[in-house]
Structure 1
Amino acid sequence: MSFSQQQQSDQGSPLVYPRPPGLMDEVYTPDGSMRSHWEYLLDSLNVLGTEALNERQRKAERILRDDGATYTLSSATLASHTWGLDPIPLLIGSEEWSQIETGLSERAELLDLLLKDLYGPRELLRSGILPAELIYSHSGFLRPCQDIKLKGGNQLILHSADMIRGADGNMVIIGDRTQTPSGAGYALENRTVMRRVFPSLFRDSHVHRLSLFFTTLRHTLTRLAPPANLSGGELPSIVILTPGAYSETYFEHTYLANYLGYPLVQGGDLTVRNGYVWMKSLDGLTRVDVILRRVDDNYCDPVELKSDSRLGVPGLLEVVRSGRVVVTNPMGSSVLENTALMKYMPQISQFFLGHELQLASVTTYWCGAADDLAHVLANIDKLVIKRCARRAGEFSVFGCDLSASERQELTQRIRLNPMHYTAQEYVAPSSAPSWHQGALQSRPAVLRSFSVAGEGSYSVMPGGMTRVGVDSDSRLISNQIGSLSKDTWVLASEPEKQLTLQPGPGASLSQIHQYTTLPSRMVENLFWMGRYSERADAAIRVLRTVFVQLNSAVILPKGAERLLLRAVSEVTLTLPGFTRDNLELLRKPEPELLSVISDAQRTGSVKASLIAMLNCAEEVKELLSADIQRIINDIRDELNGLENAVTKGMASAPEETLDPLISALLALSGLYQDSMFRGLGWRFLQIGRRLEKAQQIASLLRHLLVPVNVDPSEPLALESALLSTEALNTYRRRFRAETNIVSGLGLLLIDRSNPRSLIYQLDKLFKDLSELPSRSKGPELPHTQRLVLEISAAVRLADMRTLAVVDEKLQSRVQLDKLLKQVQLRLNETAVAVSEDFFDHTGGPQQLVNTGWNGEL
């Protein structure tokens, strides 16, 4: 028995990929024989066996989750799901790929010529090759973009095409993406994961690498920079413009920003001043030369385009016209995504190139043409109906899947606005092997590949991102409905030379440093990420303490019980809560406590604070290490099942259901110290944490130790304060006596060896504030440091015995209350001062009138 046969017998029955009947398949030729370039892969998978392949799939899922690779389907923070990757790659032979690559490069060249013509002389319209209404009725045609030209020969910098293999074995184009082509970052992530999961298989297969595509992209963006903006030897300032964390492909934006080394910015991070675009950062304004945008055309400039947009940069279009900034792909390029243009591609190609395209487009009908409309309505059950302009949440409609009433309704919509609809002949995609439920199964596959303009021609990514159907008979293949992706391997005859995106030896430190500038929005999110994490931590700790005390073997005095419950509402600010004189609420506190934990809509609840922290983390995703991202994912997973877990645990030891969250937050705190560079971003994170922790300590002590009850609840209040701050065991070891308010206050207020004492937070806060860029014009201390120094001195000079004195008439510790109230007030003033000094809250110009125009006629 051979070694491979022995492995097969160890792993179980061999893997078999059956040829799907009657379909074009990627593995098998029409006569049933296996294509040669698939043999090595399938033999290797067969040697691995079912269990090993299942384990590799689980490993891939873990890597994707740890990388934070998500595809967001809604605006809810907890609704993101991990990017799906099929562990079986799609293989394409090098000879066939050479033909596909040539066809894709040619198609990108043609679309570039078309873009120049539509925003230039419009010869295609003048000659009658294109109907004018086809262009002018499309929402992607932006009249304000007329005659805008990029430096160099190409206007279309990035292009992606969706293609399928038809029944004749040839690739056919079913769609173009030219506005903000997405998927290249996911293709890179897929490749990274596959290299880790199948290292030897990948190496021995001699797969074409993707790095040349991204190297070309970087060189092209650098070359596009306006020469007037640069001095000798200076690198251009390039940024990636994203809609933000609620974009479904936000992971890709952060991934590409990290990989390419460009700042990721949102519209609010940029401003137009003195005829240039600037990035607002802590260092002031940094001029921007090139913007690689991921924001849709109409949203890029609220002054001249969509007036209610909050994603773009007011005045951007005017700066683009002046040539002082380059935006790519150019605004207005979404007109090329008009599916009706595919009907006219042969004529367009003949006009510009003098010959037919090598890669054909699927047969397309435009309902704006009378003959095509009649054909579509007569054969609607055999066609795929699409809008000329894509809309969020809308998919292609397959006429054969519609009922009679649905078909009639669709017919009426088409008749009402025929110019807005196209129809395409249905071409069944080829099938490819997919790993599903422990077996190789066939799934329909769509390949998306990418082209980038180089110095002479377009460079095509070898392979790209393949998507496969959910079922073997799926017609609609989209990530939005749960389709998995595949890595696409173009096989070479020998290993390729590895390339790097690192700066060359000639790059100066100043050139490299420019990419480390942080927008003020990012440091603000780091600041609030730190605050929300500490806010959630404090809330969980006081809740755990209350649960422990309420469920202890000793029955609590009523005054002590009320004091603890009231402290929950006061510390978390989930008011009115237990601050009301509601006897029923005090008698059955469980529903209110459950709400304080798991009600996401209640400001101050544990879940609301953690969701806010996750939102901030999403905004600064590219700054977080892989380990921090892993903990963030753990917290998100815990929140998804929090309410159910707490409800089940209410009957016994409910505090244990909160322990995983405490452990995750502790891990996060440790990683902040060990995994983040000590730059300004980290400094603001720490300032947020220290401010919030000091606030929470002052609030806890104020609501537990200031009130004095007539029943014997005094020791229990101090014990609860020590327990909430993880200081109870230290207190007992140090004093070895009954709880004493004076020694307890000393430990919690002024003991510098206690990392959870108030003075410890104030010392750290003062140090972190002193490391910030100074906003003072003279030698005096900045306002923020003066505020912290004032309260720090007040705490250090306080006499613990005086603070412990009880005003018998008021039944409270008046001096302690006065000190803690002063601490809270000054900390609030410090937070406001930090915000005013370093965070931007200004808006930009807007249109005077919101017309509500959506771009369609």
Structure 2
Amino acid sequence: MATDNLTPPPEALLQYAPRDGRFDEAFAADSRIRPHWQYVLDALSRLGIAGLQNRQHKAQRILRDDGANYNMVGQPQKTRVWGLDPVPLLIGSEEWSRIEAGLSERAELFDLILRDLYGPRELIRNRILPAELILSHSGFLRACQGLNMPGEQQLILHAVDMVRGPDGQMQVVADRTQAPSGAGYALENRTVMSRILPSLIRDSQVHRLALFFQALRRKLNSLAPNGGTPRVVILTPGAYSETYFEHTYLANYLGYSLVQGGDLTVRDGFVWMKSLDGLHRVDVILRRVDDIWCDPVELRGDSHLGVPGLLEAVRAGNVVVANPLGSGILENPALLKYMPRISEFFLGHPLTLPSARTWWLGDPADREYVLTHLPELIIKPTSRRPGQQSVYGAQLDEKGLAHWHRELTRNPAQWVAQEANLPSTSPTLQRGGLRPSPTVLRGFAVADEGSYTVMSGGLTRVASSGRQMVVSNQLGATSKDTWVLASEPQRLTTLREQQTSLLSGEQSSDLPSRVVENLFWMGRYSERAESATRLLRTTFMQLNSASTLPDSVRHQLLQSVTEVTGTQPGFSPQDPQTFDNPETELLNVILDSGRFGSVCSNVQAMLSCTEEAREMLSGDTHRVLSDLRDTLNDLPAQLQPDSLAAPEEALDPLITSLLALSGLSQESMIRGFGWRFLEMGRRLERTLQTTLLLRALLVPVLDDDAEEQLLEAALMCGEVLVTYRRRYRSQPELRNALVLLLLDRSNPRSLQYQLDQLTQHLYELQGGASTSLLSEERRTLLEARTLLQLSRAEQLAELDDQGQRQALDTLLSQLFERLTATATLIAGHYFEHQRNPQQLVNTRWGDEE
């Protein structure tokens, strides 16, 4: 890059010191600013460090509210909010033209390599590539020999990791071809930056990203083997994938259905998506699942992430998978050693973007060099494994060097070494100032009309500290928005210009039954959590009231906590000590996430369901869910045993968040399948929880004063105590309370209201007036409604000859039984599918994983 016309840094950036021996993106060696950085750094300097920190906090809040996160490998419960630095990475227009040409050229070359390795294998035949480098690699799938997709290119998406060496030139250090990630995060970064620095982006004339996604949509739609309007789905490994946020983000942005392996089935040689209204044929699968996991019949037999029979459907030409199965072989970093010869063989000239100098230890000469120069090199495996990172030889001590000498000698063909051209640095906001951080740029190319369209930008990752040599998300790297500066203002282009013509209404209504099931259980778990929290809050209020609680009321309240939440053994007459010192047990019922029925257990189960149905939830809903997670994390600190604070106050924010979630489902969700099942789950569970509560508090017969206190507790849990006082202007009486809690259709928490709503949902779901036959679930629900409608509050409140409230107990018991049966019938009707076929033989002999 040119170093003339450099400008001294503004006052606010004088503390920034580029690192010796590294190329700095923004500053030359004499600390003067590079020309294309001048305008942006002047603007950031005017903001000052405090202003930048403010923008960074705002960015993190937006990312949190958007649910943008990154899951850690092997730690399914550990996620972190996606990190975004407010200082972008800038690339000038002239330099970007060279990079863009190099990325397009490299994608074309890798497409030719893919065709050759699963076709004639001329590269092996002409001894340009060693046969053992390809044929012994785990990414080479013999089952994919001869697979071809429609169109001129086989490789649809290609991602390239680049670093700038000390000479300022970009070089490639890795290629990603199986399921390249990062494009969605780059788009999210741009969206956030346009909110925190809108005028700076506009005035800097930054290239937009929408053209890349237009090309991606155009290409995927063109791949449909059957013509017409294609059905395209995005196949994800699920909510515990590291980049699951990106999967849902792209599905929403592109308008495609997000599916997991269990949502798809192969029948008669075609791939179908299982939804509530039947099977929908799938034409194109954009996969985010690695090769080996995609088909448990022909590839990895223990996989639950793929679709049994998928390869056979691909061979028959009935579905297209992008990127094609088998493309993982192109991620072998040992290929970089041979790229100059491959380029000359296929293209007749060297690559525009050179690769980092690479040695493959399967070559004896390379192995000898690597073992004698290990401290100068970076060691990488030829096949990526979860959690495995590159090793920088200069950071190894004598023991580490000896270990790697042994490892590289024991399995030499499984390792490569690369020259440790330490990446360039860029200004990053760290530790209260701008610091130089190692920087890696990932560029993206998508096949498009005979060539490749390159994203005008990319995903820039920076190390979490200047001392870190390996830049990896798993090691805590953060990201930057990548600004390619245009020489003139950009025409406004968005993906949504094409959305109407490319998407049919039928496509947008596709909903895998798995998503609907998770919405159903989201409703149930949220009601369980709310019911338990309300009861616990009421119990704490009664226990901590100024007046002493009678032992009978105290015992009944505590016993009701166990009976309603199901947290056995809990409060039991067989263990009287728990009644004398109830605080420990009550706090466990709230905080013990490993205990079935606890508040934390129910909330976490609900949050897991929201992850599986993430694409169905609005931005405001994600914000409430983030607040709910924060509230849950804060609870242990606020509920310390023997603290002077009132525990019920710590539960108020939790109830508020759950109520906000319920309200948003009413105000923000389209009244489709998803919303109906969410509501049905909520109504079913509210009915079940209310029957449990009323049986625990109102069926036992106590003296008048004690019963009055339990009635008040029941009305408080049902959120109708104020309504009762205004309506009846008297102390609680059982008959009136039963009218309000059981039979009042105007009370949205009464049993009658829940059953009416459930009936209406099932009526609409099953064809409404168009069908006269009652399904089993509607029939069972009708029995429950009839039992309730025929009941009389005064009879339920009366004592029988044995001095018991047998009529009330019987009614509540019958209602619980029929509602439980209704829930089971709904699940059996809509959610239970036959298990997919699995491989009958082991195909992983000798596999060390």
What TM-score do you get using the length of structure 1 for normalisation?
0.95
Q: 1:532 aligns with which of 511, 521, 525?
A: 525
Aligned equivalents of 2:535, 2:833: Cα separation in 1: 34
2:825 matched to 1:833?
Answer: yes
> Which string of whole-angstrom CA distances, capped at 9 and with x for unpartnered residues, describes residues 755-805 of structure 1?
111111111111111111349996222222222222112112111111112
Letter of the aligned partner of 1:23 in structure 2? R
Letter of the aligned partner of 1:804 in structure 2? A
SS at match of 2:483: strand
Question: Residue 425 of structure 2 contacts residue 437 of structure 2 at CA under 8 Å; is this kept in 1?
Answer: yes
Letter of the aligned partner of 1:54 in structure 2? Q
- Indicate the residue corresponding to 1:42 in structure 2: 41
Question: Residue 78 of structure 1 contacts residue 636 of structure 1 at CA under 8 Å; is this kept in 2?
Answer: no
Aligned equivalents of 1:352, 1:580: Cα separation in 2: 82
Q: How does 1:201-240 map to 2 (within 5 A)?
A: 201-226=200-225, 229-230=226-227, 234-240=228-234
Question: Residue 93 of structure 1 contacts residue 492 of structure 1 at CA under 8 Å; is this kept in 2?
Answer: yes
- Indicate the residue corresponding to 1:387 in structure 2: 381
- Indicate the residue corresponding to 1:373 in structure 2: 367
Letter of the aligned partner of 2:685 in structure 1? E
Question: Residue 748 of structure 2 contacts residue 754 of structure 2 at CA under 8 Å; is this kept in 1?
Answer: yes
Aligned equivalents of 1:672, 1:505: Cα separation in 2: 26
SS at match of 1:641: helix
Q: How does 1:684-833 map to 2 (within 5 A)?
A: 684-709=677-702, 712-774=705-767, 779-807=772-800, 809=802, 812-833=804-825
Letter of the aligned partner of 2:607 in structure 1? L
Q: 1:574 aligns with which of 564, 567, 577?
A: 567
- Say if 1:13 and 1:323 are closer, same or farther in 2 by CA, change over 3 A: closer
Cα displacement (A) at 1:846 = 0.8
Letter of the aligned partner of 1:835 in structure 2? A
- Indicate the residue corresponding to 1:87 in structure 2: 86
Question: Residue 784 of structure 1 contacts residue 833 of structure 1 at CA under 8 Å; is this kept in 2?
Answer: yes
2:841 matched to 1:842?
Answer: no
- Indicate the residue corresponding to 2:121 in structure 1: 122
- Indicate the residue corresponding to 1:282 in structure 2: 276
C-alpha RMSD over aligned residues: 1.9
> Which string of whole-angstrom CA distances, capped at 9 and with x for unpartnered residues, describes residues 711-770 of structure 1?
842111111100111111111121122221111111110011211111111111111111
Aligned equivalents of 1:488, 1:666: Cα separation in 2: 40
Aligned equivalents of 1:295, 1:274: Cα separation in 2: 23
- Say if 1:580 and 1:122 are closer, same or farther in 2 by CA, change over 3 A: farther
Q: 1:493 aligns with which of 487, 498, 513?
A: 487
2:414 matched to 1:420?
Answer: yes
- Say if 1:74 and 1:548 are closer, same or farther in 2 by CA, change over 3 A: farther
Letter of the aligned partner of 1:619 in structure 2? E
SS at match of 2:229: coil
2:637 matched to 1:638?
Answer: no
Q: How does 1:586-665 map to 2 (within 5 A)?
A: 586-647=579-640, 650-665=643-658
Aligned equivalents of 1:498, 1:13: Cα separation in 2: 33
Letter of the aligned partner of 1:109 in structure 2? E
Q: 2:321 aligns with which of 318, 324, 327?
A: 327
SS at match of 1:411: helix
SS at match of 1:327: strand
- Say if 1:172 and 1:648 are closer, same or farther in 2 by CA, change over 3 A: farther
Question: Residue 165 of structure 1 contacts residue 172 of structure 1 at CA under 8 Å; is this kept in 2?
Answer: yes
- Indicate the residue corresponding to 1:56 in structure 2: 55
Aligned equivalents of 2:207, 2:351: Cα separation in 1: 25
Q: How does 1:663-674 map to 2 (within 5 A)?
A: 663-674=656-667
- Indicate the residue corresponding to 2:6 in structure 1: none
Letter of the aligned partner of 2:529 in structure 1? A
Cα displacement (A) at 1:56 = 1.2
SS at match of 2:184: helix
Question: Residue 256 of structure 2 contacts residue 507 of structure 2 at CA under 8 Å; is this kept in 1?
Answer: no
Cα displacement (A) at 1:840 = 3.5
| Matched residues, number | 840
- Say if 1:725 and 1:262 are closer, same or farther in 2 by CA, change over 3 A: same
Question: Residue 174 of structure 1 contacts residue 362 of structure 1 at CA under 8 Å; is this kept in 2?
Answer: yes
Structure 1, 602-611 or 14-23: larger mean CA deviation: 14-23
Aligned equivalents of 1:294, 1:483: Cα separation in 2: 22
- Say if 1:77 and 1:303 are closer, same or farther in 2 by CA, change over 3 A: closer
Q: How does 1:96-111 map to 2 (within 5 A)?
A: 96-111=95-110
2:246 matched to 1:247?
Answer: no
Cα displacement (A) at 1:581 = 1.3
Aligned equivalents of 2:780, 2:837: Cα separation in 1: 35
What TM-score do you get using the length of structure 2 for normalisation?
0.96
Letter of the aligned partner of 2:812 in structure 1? L
Question: Residue 302 of structure 1 contacts residue 309 of structure 1 at CA under 8 Å; is this kept in 2?
Answer: yes
Aligned equivalents of 1:407, 1:24: Cα separation in 2: 28
Structure 1, 499-508 or 87-96: larger mean CA deviation: 499-508
Question: Residue 138 of structure 1 contacts residue 855 of structure 1 at CA under 8 Å; is this kept in 2?
Answer: no
Question: Residue 18 of structure 2 contacts residue 425 of structure 2 at CA under 8 Å; is this kept in 1?
Answer: no
> Which string of whole-angstrom CA distances, capped at 9 and with x for unpartnered residues, describes residues 245-302 of structure 1?
0101000000000010000000010000111000001110000000000011111000
Letter of the aligned partner of 1:320 in structure 2? V
- Indicate the residue corresponding to 2:24 in structure 1: 25
Question: Residue 153 of structure 2 contacts residue 450 of structure 2 at CA under 8 Å; is this kept in 1?
Answer: no
- Say if 1:145 and 1:475 are closer, same or farther in 2 by CA, change over 3 A: same
- Say if 1:485 and 1:357 are closer, same or farther in 2 by CA, change over 3 A: same
**Structure 1 stretches lacking a partner, 5+ long:** 1-10
- Indicate the residue corresponding to 1:309 in structure 2: 303
Q: How does 1:175-574 map to 2 (within 5 A)?
A: 175-226=174-225, 229-230=226-227, 234-502=228-496, 504=498, 507=501, 511-574=504-567
Aligned equivalents of 2:499, 2:578: Cα separation in 1: 70
Aligned equivalents of 2:230, 2:625: Cα separation in 1: 34
- Say if 1:139 and 1:152 are closer, same or farther in 2 by CA, change over 3 A: same
Structure 1, 777-786 or 58-67: larger mean CA deviation: 777-786
Aligned equivalents of 2:260, 2:494: Cα separation in 1: 28
- Say if 1:778 and 1:490 are closer, same or farther in 2 by CA, change over 3 A: closer
> Which string of whole-angstrom CA distances, capped at 9 and with x for unpartnered residues, describes residues 507-560 of structure 1?
398x23322210101110100001000010000000001111111122222221
- Indicate the residue corresponding to 1:159 in structure 2: 158
Aligned equivalents of 1:157, 1:769: Cα separation in 2: 44
SS at match of 2:434: strand
Question: Residue 177 of structure 2 contacts residue 330 of structure 2 at CA under 8 Å; is this kept in 1?
Answer: yes
Aligned equivalents of 2:14, 2:540: Cα separation in 1: 54
Question: Residue 77 of structure 1 contacts residue 615 of structure 1 at CA under 8 Å; is this kept in 2?
Answer: no
Question: Residue 77 of structure 1 contacts residue 614 of structure 1 at CA under 8 Å; is this kept in 2?
Answer: no
Letter of the aligned partner of 1:214 in structure 2? F
SS at match of 2:334: helix
- Indicate the residue corresponding to 1:3 in structure 2: none
Aligned equivalents of 1:505, 1:636: Cα separation in 2: 34
Q: How does 1:676-687 map to 2 (within 5 A)?
A: 676-687=669-680
SS at match of 2:496: coil
Question: Residue 17 of structure 2 contacts residue 31 of structure 2 at CA under 8 Å; is this kept in 1?
Answer: no
- Say if 1:618 and 1:115 are closer, same or farther in 2 by CA, change over 3 A: same
Query: How many percent identity over aligned positions?
Result: 56
**Structure 2 stretches lacking a partner, 5+ long:** 1-9
Cα displacement (A) at 1:473 = 2.4
Aligned equivalents of 2:355, 2:499: Cα separation in 1: 45
- Say if 1:503 and 1:790 are closer, same or farther in 2 by CA, change over 3 A: farther
Question: Residue 306 of structure 1 contacts residue 853 of structure 1 at CA under 8 Å; is this kept in 2?
Answer: no
Cα displacement (A) at 1:674 = 0.8
SS at match of 1:179: coil
Aligned equivalents of 1:424, 1:466: Cα separation in 2: 21
Letter of the aligned partner of 2:145 in structure 1? Q
Aligned equivalents of 1:649, 1:348: Cα separation in 2: 72
Question: Residue 445 of structure 1 contacts residue 467 of structure 1 at CA under 8 Å; is this kept in 2?
Answer: yes
